[in-house]
Structure 1
Amino acid sequence: MKVSRVIAAPRPHVFAAFADPAALARWLPPAGMTAALSSFDARPGGGYLMTLTYGDPRRHGQGKTTADSDSVEVRFAAFSPERIVQQVAFRSDDAAFDGLMTMTWTFDETPAGTEVAVTVEDAPPGISDADHAAGIASSLDNLARFLGG
């Protein structure tokens, strides 16, 4: 599955939004969620721990880790201004969310800014492609707003 969007900002600004933990926690959560980072190490072999919490009580019970949250452990297999490769594991007791998912983020300069493309491989079976694509698109919308475009 792949989702992309052109962000009206130069690649160094887009990359900086990934490399700054406070920035990442502001724009990465899809609509209706908030994020808290408990660690962050921006380098190959580094990574982060993030908990995403649903703000809408009507979504209570949809979390993968608790009734209203998803916790993920992310390791960076690559971390450069051109490409970030993340190995993502959900913290969940539900086997539908087991496994190691790979998310590859590429950043290509265009006349209109930076095309950010996200390719997902080996997503857990409990996450539908449609829901995942919608969540990534929401995050990319947030990134565009965060960077003023």
Structure 2
Amino acid sequence: MEAAGRIDRAERLIAAPAGRVFGCWTDPALLVRWLPPEGTEGRTEAFDPRPGGAFRIVLTYLDPEEPGKSGGGEDVIAGAFVAVDPPCHLAFVSRFRSDAPNLQGEMRMDWHFDPEPEATTRVRIVASNVPPGIAPEDHAAGMASSLAQLAALIE
């Protein structure tokens, strides 16, 4: 457990089949509609959802006073997909573009899409090696916000 650093988790039951929920992760036009947490908007600059495929997502804060982890009111997240197993699991590693030492390091996020009865899916997020500069309560709120927006989009 020590090698994984801090681990944050979130989950939500979504009233849609796993394949449909998984599809919201692999379509960049849909992804930017639900993944950016409340108070941000997003754009994809690179997106290749296959093992080894790169991605680069930019989150822009709507509050002009928010500096963002990457400066300029933005969080720039870049990395690579390490597992893409439709419709059950998707994982990627990423780094924030930031000069702040407490935001350095490679974080891994595993998204699990577990089929449940009546065409519902339990979406579970496991974030490993979370940089210490991301406050646990902020990360929890961000993941919950993304899950709520995913549910609102698909249900």
CA distance in 1, matches of 2:79, 2:153: 22
Deviation at 1:28, TM superposition (A): 0.3
Corresponding residue SS for 2:140:
helix
**Secondary structure of the residue that 1:22 maps to in structure 2?**
helix
**TM-score by structure 1 length?**
0.94
Q: Give 1:13's aligned residue.
A: 20
Q: What is the match of residue 84 of structure 1?
A: 90
Question: Is 2:79 aligned against 1:74?
Answer: yes
Classify the secondary structure of the residue corresponding to 1:57: coil
Deviation at 1:129, TM superposition (A): 1.3
CA drift of 1:20 comes to: 0.4
**Matches for 1:133-148 after TM superposition, within 5 Å:** 133-147=140-154
The structure 1 segments of at least 4 consecutive aligned residues displaced by more than 4 Å after TM superposition are none
1:83-118 per-position Cα deviation (integer Å, ceiling 9, x unaligned)? 111101100011111000011100000125000000
Flag structure 2 segments of 5+ consecutive residues without an equivalent: 1-7
Measure, in 2, the Cα distance between the counterparts of 1:107 and 1:74.
21
- Letter in structure 1 aligned against 2:144: A
Distance 2:134 2:40 in 1: 17
Amino acid at match of 2:84: F
Question: TM-score w.r.t. structure 2 length?
Answer: 0.91
Query: 1:109 maps to what in 2?
Result: 115
CA deviations on 1:44-83 (whole Å, 9 max, x unpaired) are 111310110001224x22x010141100002111012211
How many residue pairs get aligned? The number is 146
Q: Name the Cα RMSD after superposition.
A: 1.0
Residue identity (%)? 42
Give the SS at the match of 2:132: coil
